[in-house]
Amino acid sequence: MSSGSLGELKGDFQRSFIDPIACDNGDKREFLIIGVGGRIHALPLSSVSGLYKDRLSAPAPSRIASFLGMLGIGGGIVPVYDLRTLIGIRDGGEPRWLFTVRGPDALGLAFDRFIGCVSVSRRMVIPDAVDATPGVSSDHFEMVTLDGVAYQILDLAPVLAAINTQIASHAGP
């Protein structure tokens, strides 16, 4: 192997950590399948900038119930929140996984289990599902069908809005 091709390989490898992940291209949508409490959700891969296992956040004092602490990731410090609390799930053990949210404000969301990553045809996405579960509000949301089972696609917009609301309600004078 010549040194030129070794240098090219090294450059390609390093760029793979810098370039954004190619998601939702063409007829495909990509999801992380995660366990949150006793439920399984599909998380759009395009919403995720990193996935981590067994990273302990440093506890920090807070009156915000969903706030778990701060974590050093990639040379920065990000706040970490409990995804279960934010989406109203009460059961589950200590979260072992977290993902960082792609976007201008760095933050991590902790969850229980990482099940896998899937790429599915857009035809497998149900765009306007309604949850008819007793005791659950009839909100509309997307679902994805995998092996005959439908999983709710986790929309991060209301999750991030809940974090901002909690922060604003506990802000000082």
Q: Give whole-number Cα distances, 173 to 67, 162, 168, 169, 170, in Å.
A: 21, 20, 11, 10, 9
Tokens coding 78: 């990000």
Q: Give whole-number Cα distances, 166 to 6, 8, 58, 78, 156, in Å.
A: 50, 47, 20, 17, 15
Tokens coding 26: 């063409």
Tokens coding 34: 């995660």
pLDDT digits (tens, 9 = 90+) for 100-153: 999 888 899 999 999 999 998 888 888 876 554 444 444 557 888 888 888 899
List the one residue out of 142, 134, 130, 137 whose CA is nearest residue 31.
142
Instruction: Please report the pLDDT score of residue 94 as a whole number.
Output: 85
Q: Which residues of 69-97 are buried (b: 16+ CB within 10 A; e: fewer)?
A: bbbebeeeebbbbbbbbbbebeebeebeb
Instruction: Please report the pLDDT score of residue 7 as a whole number.
Output: 66
Judge contact between 125 and 143, C-beta under 8 A: yes
Judge whether residue 20 has pLDDT over 60.
no
Instruction: Please report the pLDDT score of residue 38 as a whole number.
Output: 86
Q: Which residues of 125-162 are buried (b: 16+ CB within 10 A; e: fewer)?
A: beeebeeeeeeeeeeeebbbebeeeebbbbbbeebbeb
Instruction: Please report the pLDDT score of residue 11 as a whole number.
Output: 65
CATH topology of domain 23-168: OB fold (Dihydrolipoamide Acetyltransferase, E2P) (2.40.50)
Instruction: Please report the pLDDT score of residue 37 as a whole number.
Output: 87
The pair phi, psi for residue 99, each rounded to 5°, is -125, 150
Tokens coding 22: 């190619």
pLDDT digits (tens, 9 = 90+) for 32-63: 999 998 889 999 999 999 999 999 889 888 98
